[in-house]
Homo-oligomer: A and B are copies of this chain.
C-alpha cells in the first residue's frame, strides 16, 4: 500500500454532484492522492476509460465500492448476486483497486433467519473467492453498524468479519469504517487481530443526534468518534494505507462539492 495516512476520496461523499471524471479531476485539483469509486459511477464513465484516467492522474485506488449483497430469497437471486460480484472483481482488477469492498447484505425479504442469511454470505464469499484470487483482487469484508443488520449487512462486527476471513483464508481481509466500529467494546482487540488483514480504513463521524440510519453521517470532527484513537489502533496493527473519507449524508450532498472536498482535506489534517 502507498501513502500511509494520506487522504482518499470515496465518490459517495460527493455522490449527487460529481461524475467519476469530475471526482478524478477534483482529487487532482485538491491534491488528494487517493480515490475510491462506487461501481455505478465507474460503469457510467466506462471501466477502461476510468482506469486510464485514474492511472494518468496518478491516483491510488483505495478500494472499489462495492460488492456483496449475497443473501436472497431464492437460489436464482443468490446466483445473480454471485455473478454481479464476479463483474465487480473484474472492475476492481481493471482499475487496480487495492481491494473490493464488500457490503454483505441483510436478511432476504420476509425472512427472520439471521443465521441462514449469514450462511448465505459465507457461501457467496466462498463462491467468488477463486476468481478474486485469480484476479489478484483482495476481498475486503466491511462490517456495517448493527443498525443496518436487517437490510444492509448481517456482518455486524470486526470480530465476525475476521472469523469469516479465518474460515475462508487467503484473499480475504477486512475494511474498518470508524462509523461502523467505533462503539464496539472489542474494537481494539479486533484491530490488533486483523493485523495485515486490515485492507481499508474509512472515516466519517457519528452525529448526535443521528436523524437517519443511513444518510446522516458526519464530517470527521463534527461528531463523537475519537478518530485519531481508532487510526492509532489501525496503524499499531500495521495499517499503512490511505484514510478514505466516505460520508453518506443528505446534508453534505446538498453543498458545493469543491467546498465539501476542501473541508474533507482540512479535517483529514485536523480531526483524523
**Would you give the shortest CB distance from A32 to chain B, in whole angstroms?**
25
Q: Which of A178-214 contact B (CB under 8 A)?
A: 182-186, 206, 208-210, 213
Contacts of A149 in B (CB 8 A): 182-183, 206
- Complex Cα spacing A215 to B257, Å: 34
Contact A157 B145 (CB under 8 A): no
Instruction: State the oligomeric state as a number of copies.
Output: 2
A29 contacts B by Cβ under 8 Å: no
A226 contacts B by Cβ under 8 Å: yes
Contacts of A74 in B (CB 8 A): none
A114 contacts B by Cβ under 8 Å: yes
- Complex Cα spacing A154 to B114, Å: 25
Taking each of A150, A156, A210, A213, which has the highest tally of chain B beta carbons within 10 Å of its own beta carbon?
Answer: A150
A225 contacts B by Cβ under 8 Å: yes
Known A150-B208, A213-B213, A226-B114: A160·B185 in contact at CB below 8 Å: yes
Q: Which of A121-155 contact B (CB under 8 A)?
A: 145-147, 149-151, 154
Contacts of A208 in B (CB 8 A): 150-151
Contact B183 A146 (CB under 8 A): yes
- Complex Cα spacing A209 to B149, Å: 11
Counting chain A residues whose Cβ lies within 8 A of the other chain, the interface size class is 20 to 34
- Complex Cα spacing A25 to B185, Å: 42
A107 contacts B by Cβ under 8 Å: yes
- Complex Cα spacing A183 to B112, Å: 11
A224 contacts B by Cβ under 8 Å: yes
Contacts of A186 in B (CB 8 A): 159
A56 contacts B by Cβ under 8 Å: no
Contact B185 A147 (CB under 8 A): no
A113 contacts B by Cβ under 8 Å: yes
Known A112-B225, A112-B226, A208-B150: A184·B156 in contact at CB below 8 Å: yes
Contact A185 B157 (CB under 8 A): yes
Contact A182 B226 (CB under 8 A): no
Contact B146 A112 (CB under 8 A): no
**Would you give the shortest CB distance from A125 to chain B, in whole angstroms?**
15
Name the 5 nearest CB pairs between A and B, nearest first: A149-B183, A147-B147, A146-B183, A112-B226, A160-B185
- Subset of 9 A-B contacts with CB under 8 Å: A112-B225, A114-B183, A118-B185, A145-B147, A146-B183, A150-B224, A151-B209, A157-B184, A160-B185
Interface residues of A (CB under 8 A from B): 107, 111-114, 118, 145-147, 149-151, 154, 156-157, 159-160, 163, 182-186, 206, 208-210, 213, 223-226
